[in-house]
Amino acid sequence: MSVTTKSSESETARLIVDDHEILLPVVIGTEDERALIIDSLRKETGYITLDEGFVNTGSTTSSITFLDGEKGILRYRGYPIEQIAENCDFVETSYLLIYGKLPTESELRAFRESIRQHTMIHEDMRSFYNGFPKDAHPMAILSSVVGALSTFYQDSLDPRDARQVEISIHRLMAKLPTIAAYSYKKSFGQPFMYPQNHLNYCENFLRLMFAVPTREYEPDPVVVDALNLLLICHADHEQNCSTSTVRMVGSSNANLFASISAGICALWGPLHGGANEACINMLQQIVEDGGDVTKYVNMAKDKTSNFRLMGFGHRVYKNYDPRAKIIKRACDRLLERLKLDDPLFEVAQKLEEVALRDEYFVERKLYPNVDFYSGIMYRAMGLPTTMFTVLFAIGRLPGWIAHWVEMHQSPTKRIGRPRQIYTGPGLRNVVPISQRS
Ligand code: ACO
């Protein structure tokens, strides 16, 4: 079997399978990334492609986010993440991702206003929280309650109705921080606070988390800025595990709330968004164990140890994750502004230094990812470890929404349904139970 490409006005690849030659159309992206369209392959040759973990498989074309893992580049709708982090806030970034353009002043004002109008959750929904155990993980609560939004908003579940989709988007953006903060309040029995419409998105979330009815609460602007930055850095990352989940679930025409709830579940895993919680637990363990980072780097290299450096490595980045660069600098700044000295930050920097000099990590191009330093910032902001992945979910929401909408707007949308190569037993007959060994 051989593959060659030939240049003409529209490129095609020539693929020879068992002496049968077929021409495969080539798709070329804005940044000259190339893909072979293989949907006719099975019909023409009897072969499918097999790519476990989708290491080399594009699931879609997309105009939302560009990332170049070799060069460490990340852009939302064409704008470098560094510029967005410097110039926009999270709601503005969300508008950019969802609607494809930076908003004008009036567009942004209207978007903020609409989100403000939807921040409360239904009073009956508040009572759900009574049913969860006190020690329930907030990610489990988050996915359940987001899924349950489809029971309260049955008027806006049709993915083919643009008006219904629009209202669901605004409801989700507005309510996710409220749902998230209540999962935290639930864990230690504090009363749930109502959102305040005069506050901005991040101020409101911090108030919902930390205010109590018995005293005034003023969000610290330093913390508000840090939260905005972290949410922006998490806002989209093209076809990652949770976004692909949202697209896959949505491809069956399941409603937006159901699709996002599934994405939250996918994000929870420690190999994905759950890595920020796992990373802080690892750093804590290293500090308690005397701070010997080399011991842990060696453990990560030992395949029998079952231990990996959490917050390190990435499927796509084979260079420093640009988000980790921004977050590391912001972490340094935040600790200084809050006059905090966190031993975990020191250990994290040492760990990075040792790992990046180690041949094992150099060879495999393993660098700190977005989850390596974000947890230290969350800690400095007073957020509990179990909420770290919840914060990731709040940040990722506009990206999930943008992808779900893009998929539904695509004229070539089809239900996601991969194939497989069956490797189980061949045909056999059922033996009566008395004759089975
Ligand atoms: N520590 C030690 N070794 C690692 C690490 C790590 N963190 N990450 C990868 N490796 C090694 C693997 O053992 C493998 O080695 P081998 O070639 O000798 O078998 C090689 O590097 C390639 O790793 P894979 O697991 O094949 O890479 P994959 O692309 O499938 O996985 C992942 C990427 C899941 C992110 C992985 O690097 C990892 O487990 N990292 C730790 C968890 C983490 O931080 N996840 C967050 C990712 S960012 C996000 O989702 C928001």
Rounded distance from Cα 312 to ligand 1 centre (Å)? 7
**Among candidates 271, 207, 264, 258, which has minimal Cα distance to 392?**
264
pLDDT of residue 188: 85
Rounded distance from Cα 234 to ligand 1 centre (Å)? 19
Which tens digits make up the pLDDT trace of 142-163? 999 999 999 999 999 999 999 9
The percent of residues in the chain predicted with pLDDT above 70, rounded, is 98
For residues 400 and 243, the answer to whether their CB atoms sit within 8 Å is yes
Tell me which residues have their CB closer than 6 angstroms to ligand 1.
53, 240, 271-273, 275, 300, 308-315, 364, 366, 369-371
In this predicted structure, the answer to whether residue 76 has a pLDDT above a threshold of 50 is yes
Which tens digits make up the pLDDT trace of 191-200? 999 999 999 9
Helix, strand or coil for residue 125?
A: helix
For residue 302, what is the DSSP state?
A: -
Which of 241, 272, 364 to mutate for ligand 1's pocket (most ligand atoms within 8 Å of CB)?
Answer: 364
- Give every CB contact of residue 417 below 8 A, 6+ residues apart in sequence: none
Query: Of 234, 236, 371, 403, which residue is the catalytic one?
Result: 371
Atom of ligand 1 nearest to the CA of 279: 44
Residue 142's alpha-carbon distances to 112, 224, 404, in angstroms, are 23, 22, 19
137 is catalytic: no
124 is catalytic: no
Q: Which residue lies with its CA nearest to atom 24 of ligand 1? A: 315
Query: Of 170, 237, 314, 403, which residue is the catalytic one?
Result: 314
Angstrom distance (rounded) from CA 12 to CA 25: 4
Which tens digits make up the pLDDT trace of 338-390? 999 999 999 999 999 999 999 999 999 999 999 999 999 999 999 999 999 99
Q: Which residue lies with its CA nearest to atom 31 of ligand 1? A: 315
For residues 372 and 38, the answer to whether their CB atoms sit within 8 Å is no
pLDDT of residue 8: 47
**In the structure, what pLDDT confidence band is assigned to residue 422 with cuts at 50, 70 and 90?**
very high
Q: Which residue lies with its CA nearest to atom 13 of ligand 1? A: 303
Bridge partner residues of 146 (DSSP): none
Helix or strand run (H / E) with residue 179: helix 162-187
Q: Which residue lies with its CA nearest to atom 29 of ligand 1? A: 315
Question: What's the pTM?
Answer: 0.95
Which tens digits make up the pLDDT trace of 1-19? 555 555 445 799 999 999 8
pLDDT of residue 6: 52
Which tens digits make up the pLDDT trace of 317-345? 999 999 999 999 999 999 999 999 999 99
**Averaged pLDDT score across all residues of the chain:** 95
Q: Which residue lies with its CA nearest to atom 47 of ligand 1? A: 272
Rounded distance from Cα 131 to ligand 1 centre (Å)? 37
